[in-house]
Structure 1
């Protein structure tokens, strides 16, 4: 049932949000010269997939978790995208394709070995990664690997249609801090 909602909402978001996506891509092009950011992430069953987002950092920024990146790497437009979470909109394509869900653990990077290990212990990789979830709406998505993995596991154990809509509503209403950078 959740996959049905994922498909319908991501398709509707891409179709009806196309003018916004196009506008943000054009502004992003003038901001960095390359508005779309692609990065290999850890997916379901620890299989790699290519996550797409709007670029918020300069082109030469090293591939590290957001909270480990330098604040100087974020562009002015990137700050706006992160604060409003609009940088996440292209991930609706990942959801439509079935690489992600709207709700699930945020996909980590392959170089985040501690997080991958903690999530593997708690069987978090049995689920699709998501755009938002319990850790994001509670502002702990940039916490330590053990706490993040435990929070993800708790969310997956208790995930229902009601909580699925709750996490989406909380995200759309501005809960969570977005990607924080030191």
Structure 2
């Protein structure tokens, strides 16, 4: 069996969640991911042990998987990318503009992550949170840090994460 190496980013794309609660299919790709900013993490599992006073060993152990998330930074976001991850709408120009919505906007999308080589990731339902985070220097650029948190899909039989071998 061939080993699979997964590295780099080709595209990170977002789609509205399908009307039936499954994965969306009409994706908008984000064109510019800051070098070495993309990462996937999983929290440690939560372990609960039920014990009796009379024994040192648990009589029941429950384990719940830790949350999985992806994080990356847009290297060169435009107003369309800002609307995609913060909410709000773009006003046509010229020049086009976007305004930060009042209050927190809960953004849920289908997310597809395609690396340069290796496994591909599809998240049918994800919470998208973003924060403006970057420098205005000569050796770094302003950016938007985005966190993708995997949520349970609302469509029955749809799994929270689909990982596909490269074609």
The TM-score range, normalised by the shorter chain, is: under 0.3
Larger Rg belongs to: 2
Q: Give the number of the structure with larger relative contact order, counting CA–CA contacts within 8 Å between residues 6 or more apart.
A: 2
Higher relative strand content: 2
Higher relative helix content: 1
TM-score (structure 1 length as normaliser): 0.23
